[in-house]
């Protein structure tokens, strides 16, 4: 990490690491060589025992905290969580955030060059699962000389990664903190992703994934993002933010006039293609749809039997994408198996995005959990 505290701005640089080997994916296919993008915050201690891995959600990236330049308008996506004296205290911990494979934010994905053809993978890229993402992260940490993690913490798809870390690398992970997660993606979540996919497929510019980067299927992609974004919100949060207000720039009886909530979704969707790749969006959506912690186990009980480290779970009352009952299904199995598990249901009106919007409601529990690990 490059750090500069001038004007209280923490400057960071996204780094990449090249892994010159092939990763055998859950599909049986081989993917390699690999590039992993990552950022680090804080200092690794002499025994390399103070590392924390932060795992990101669907369209997130490695830029979890700080700014890349003093001119950046926004810091990293979890900046309020990571830094000196913050929840993930960089005076104490060495925090790492890695971009997942399948993404377009620096790690190997559909936009990367296929070494066999010299051209972008596009839809030749293999299907990856969350477990594959975690195995790639393990290769990265091995290359960085890190063999122990204080905890793995993340929300949404990041919670899935945290759970997979605890199950598949029990000798390396000392705890996990899954937030707004699930043990398996529900039919409703899969159905929403199916609508998003169809919006993209029906855009003639998609060309079965063979679009040029400068000519993405922006119309279909914007609609797909809007569908996804609705699932991150809640009825309560939309009522608070928009109500039934009609756009001041439109006439109430204009046929194409919009409510404020419509205009917001349109803006959010239309701005998204400029910062994310459509094929990567589809591949990560597929990884979410396929997620089931019991994959290649006889059931959830056998999979979770491998989770021996303490785990701290959070769900949010208004989350209708990964409902509290889905988190509680996993927690119940762990409790019945007498595993060291703690669960908190957090009252929040911000839906699935609560872990990003109102971290102050659950972070005291994280601080205490980490303190107990030191005892």
Domains identified in the chain and CATH numbers: 15-184+292-372 (3.40.50.1820), 190-285 (1.10.1740.110)
pLDDT given at position 94? 98
What are the pLDDT digits (tens) for 329-364?
999 999 999 999 999 999 999 999 999 999 999 999
- Among the listed residues 98, 103, 112, 156, the single catalytic one is 156
- Among the listed residues 132, 277, 319, 349, the single catalytic one is 319
Look at residues 358, 362, 339, 340 and name the one whose alpha carbon lies nearest to residue 349: 358
Q: CA end-to-end span of the chain, whole Å?
A: 29
Name residue 200's beta-bridge partners: none
pLDDT given at position 284? 98
**Using omega within 30 degrees of 0 as the cis cutoff, is the peptide bond preceding 277 cis?**
no
CB 339 within 8 A of CB 332: no
Q: What's the rounded Cα separation, in Å, for the pair 268 and 266?
A: 6
Q: Where are the beta strands (DSSP E) in the chain?
A: 15-19, 23-24, 30-31, 34-41, 51-55, 82-83, 88-89, 94-98, 151-155, 176-179, 311-316, 341-346
Binding residues: 225, 353
- Residue 85 CB neighbour total at 10 angstroms: 8
pLDDT given at position 375? 59
Active site residue 318: no
What are the pLDDT digits (tens) for 126-144?
999 999 999 999 999 999 9
pLDDT given at position 253? 82
Active site residue 352: yes
- Residue 116 CB neighbour total at 10 angstroms: 8
Low-confidence residues of the chain: pLDDT under 70? 1-9, 375
The SS3 of residue 154 is strand
CB 90 within 8 A of CB 100: no
CB 282 within 8 A of CB 211: no
pLDDT given at position 5? 41
CB 21 within 8 A of CB 115: no
Binding residues for substrate: 225, 353
Active site residue 319: yes
The SS3 of residue 159 is helix
Which two structure tokens, joined as six digits, stand for 106?
A: 């620096």
pLDDT given at position 4? 42
pLDDT given at position 3? 42
Identify the sign of the CA torsion 185, 237, 79, 365. Answer: negative
- Residue 294 CB neighbour total at 10 angstroms: 14
- Among the listed residues 107, 277, 318, 352, the single catalytic one is 352
Read off the DSSP letter of residue 371.
H
Which two structure tokens, joined as six digits, stand for 347?
A: 């009252």
């Amino acid at each position: 990490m490059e750090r500069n505290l001038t004007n209280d701005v923490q400057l960071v640089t996204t780094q990449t690491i090249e892994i010159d080997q092939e990763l055998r994916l859950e599909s049986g296919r081989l993917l390699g060589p690999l590039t992993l993008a990552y950022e680090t915050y804080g200092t690794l201690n002499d025994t390399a025992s103070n590392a924390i891995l932060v795992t990101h959600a669907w369209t997130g990236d490695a830029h979890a905290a700080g700014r890349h330049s003093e001119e950046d308008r926004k810091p990293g996506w979890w900046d309020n969580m990571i830094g000196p004296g913050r929840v993930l205290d960089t005076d104490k911990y060495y925090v790492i955030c890695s971009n997942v494979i399948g993404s377009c934010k620096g790690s190997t994905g559909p936009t990367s060059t296929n070494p066999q053809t010299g051209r972008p993978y596009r839809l030749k890229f293999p299907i990856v699962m969350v477990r594959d993402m975690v195995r790639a992260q393990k290769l990265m940490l091995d290359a960085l000389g890190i063999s122990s993690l204080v905890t793995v913490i993340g929300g949404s798809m990041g919670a899935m990664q945290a759970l997979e870390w605890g199950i598949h690398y029990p000798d390396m992970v000392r705890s996990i903190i899954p937030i707004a997660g699930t043990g398996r993606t529900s039919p409703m979540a899969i159905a929403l992703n199916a609508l998003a996919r169809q919006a993209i497929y029906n855009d003639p510019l998609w060309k079965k994934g063979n679009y040029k980067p400068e000519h993405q299927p922006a119309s279909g992609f914007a609609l797909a993002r809007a569908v996804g974004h609705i699932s991150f919100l809640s009825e309560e949060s939309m009522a608070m933010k928009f109500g039934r207000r009609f756009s001041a720039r439109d006439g109430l009886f204009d046929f194409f006039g919009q409510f404020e909530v419509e205009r917001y979704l349109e803006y959010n969707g239309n701005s998204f293609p400029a910062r994310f790749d459509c094929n990567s969006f589809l591949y990560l959506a597929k990884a979410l749809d396929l997620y089931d912690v019991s994959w290649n186990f006889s059931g959830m009980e056998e999979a979770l039997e491998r989770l021996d480290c303490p785990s701290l779970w959070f769900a949010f009352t208004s989350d209708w994408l990964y409902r509290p009952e889905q988190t509680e299904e996993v927690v119940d199995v762990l409790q019945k198996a007498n595993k060291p598990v703690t669960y908190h249901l957090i009252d929040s009106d911000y839906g699935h995005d609560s872990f990003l919007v109102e971290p102050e409601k659950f972070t005291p529990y994280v601080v205490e959990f980490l303190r107990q690990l030191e005892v």
